[in-house]
Amino acid sequence: MKRFAPCFLFLLFACNPYKAMRSASADFTSAQGPAGLSFLVPKGWKGVRNETDSAGRAVRFFEYAGGTVFYVAYAPKGGDIQPIPRDSHVPRLMRTGDTLYKEQSSRTGRVWREDKKGALRAGYINVSEGKSEALFDSAVNSVRAIR
C-alpha cells in the first residue's frame, strides 16, 4: 500500500482542477455594511471590469478570449444579470438553497449558467462544453451566498 501512495499523490495533484483557478475577490456594500467576498476564477482572463447596472446591482466581470465572461454580482433587490427566458427554463433548486439556471445553445454549442445565491449572482456566458465548462462550474460553485 505504501508504494502506491506516491502514485496516488501524483495523480491527485496532476488532475486537480483548482490548479487552473486563481483566487479573486470583490467588495460589495450590503445592508449589514461592507461585505468582502473571496472566490475562485479560471485563469486566463484578459480583463476585469466593475459596473453598476441600471437596477443598481454591482457586478464584477472577468472577460476571456472568444467572448467568454464570468461574473459575480451583488443583487440585494433580486433580479437576473443575464436574461433568462422563464417560459423555457425551470430553476433547479439546490440543497444549499441556491437556484441554478443553465443551458447549452443549440446554435453555437456554447453554455451559459447563472446561480442565485441569496443576494449574490454568479455565472458565466459563452463557455465551450467540456473541460472549460467544468472549470467555470467550479468557479461558480466557489462563490458563497450572502444572506
Digit-coded pLDDT (tens) for 93-121: 888 778 888 888 888 889 999 999 888 89
The whole-number pLDDT of residue 2 equals 59
Over residues 21-40, the mean pLDDT reads: 73
Model confidence at 76, in pLDDT bands (50, 70, 90)?
confident
Distance from chain centroid for Cα 23: 13
Let me know if residue 32 belongs to a domain: yes
Total domains in the chain come to: 1
What's the whole-model pTM score?
A: 0.79
Let me know if residue 104 belongs to a domain: yes
The whole-number pLDDT of residue 11 equals 43
Per-residue pLDDT at 137 exceeds 90: yes
Mean per-residue pLDDT over the chain, rounded: 80
Phi, psi of 65 (to 5 degrees): -65, 150
Let me know if residue 72 belongs to a domain: yes
Let me know if residue 6 belongs to a domain: no
Let me know if residue 7 belongs to a domain: no
The whole-number pLDDT of residue 12 equals 42
**Host domain of residue 77:** 19-142
Q: Which DSSP symbol is given to 68?
A: -
Q: Would residue 81 be called left, alpha or beta, if left means φ above 0 and alpha means ψ between -120 and 50 degrees?
A: alpha
The whole-number pLDDT of residue 60 equals 93
Per-residue pLDDT at 27 exceeds 70: yes
